[in-house]
Structure 1
Amino acid sequence: DLDAFLEQVHSREHQMATGLPGGVGLPHARSEYVNRTSIAVGVAKYGHSLDFGAMDGPATLVLLMATPAQSFSEHLEVLATIARSLFKENFRESLRRAHDAEVIAELINSSLVFHDH
């Protein structure tokens, strides 16, 4: 139920902003509507941005993270790992330049190499 999940993301965003330095938004939620951890990546068109409450301004790169409700430790682990990668400018720029879903998936997956499952 995508709408119900996005409603949870929206209310989560109201509790605490998820903007990171460097023009990044990292909205996320654990949800009973999610059956496996997933990350959707969006890059704003030139001249456009979205406000995720970061100190240095709005985001042009957005990663929406969805995790199953029961996956508490995995949620925190993935969130921390992806956030660490997003603090690196070359990682952010690689995502912004990637115009191909496979390249984006490869970048995200390679930053999450700690996963055995």
Structure 2
Amino acid sequence: MDIADLLSSGGIVLRGGVSSKRQALHAVAETASNALNLDEDRVLEALLEREALGSTGLGSGVAVPHARVKGLDRVCAVFVRLESPVAYEALDDRPVDLMFALFAPPEAGAEHLRALAAVSRAMRSPELRERLRQARTVDAVRALFVKDAPATAA
């Protein structure tokens, strides 16, 4: 699975001003609403319902929130980089600043799981995480996924 195919430039946001997990998830929902033409409140509700089952914070400052949302015909993604990390109840208890969110149609099964596995594998790379943190523009972030996705998601 090529991670770059899931992500459009409009689905990448470099953002400050978030001070809690809920605000971070709201930023993800807002980004998804704008990039994927989804209802922001419905996306936020779906993300919060999934988080209630267990944190999607993977560790090393990374979270991969995900939800099934009506109105999609395929798995899609948004990426939000927070200016300041927020407490997120991650596996390693470290705050999160890199959020790669996945959204799937309700009937997506294996495709959603493959995307989740590919993103999780890619985000385990210390080099990729550091480059994502250092990238200055949305285009620079997108280029990292285009360049790195095939090698890390294979």
Give the TM bin, normalised by the shorter chain: 0.7 to 0.9
Code of the residue aligned with 1:58 in structure 2: it is P
TM-score, normalized by length of structure 1? 0.81
Contact 2:59 2:90 in 1 (8 A): no
C-alpha separation between the residues in 2 aligned to 1:34 and 1:4?
A: 13
Code of the residue aligned with 1:78 in structure 2: it is A
Matched, 1:19 2:57: yes
| Root-mean-square deviation (Å) | 2.0
The more displaced of 48-57 and 25-34 is 48-57
C-alpha separation between the residues in 2 aligned to 1:81 and 1:18?
A: 15
Identical residues among aligned pairs (%): 28
Q: Which residue of 2 aligns with 1:37?
A: 75
Q: Which residue of 2 aligns with 1:76?
A: 113
C-alpha separation between the residues in 2 aligned to 1:112 and 1:71?
A: 21
Contact 1:82 1:111 in 2 (8 A): no
Code of the residue aligned with 1:51 in structure 2: it is Y
Structure ranking higher on relative contact order (CA contacts 8 Å, 6+ apart): 2
Q: Which residue of 2 aligns with 1:95?
A: 132
Q: Which residue of 1 aligns with 2:45?
A: 7
Ranges in structure 2 where 5+ consecutive residues have no aligned partner = 1-38
TM-score, normalized by length of structure 2? 0.64
CA deviation string 1:60-111 (max 9, x = no partner): 1111111122221111001001100111101111211223222322333445
Ranges in structure 1 where 5+ consecutive residues have no aligned partner = none
Q: Which residue of 1 aligns with 2:99?
A: 62
Matched, 1:85 2:122: yes
Q: Which residue of 1 aligns with 2:27?
A: none
C-alpha separation between the residues in 2 aligned to 1:111 and 1:31?
A: 27
Higher strand share: 2
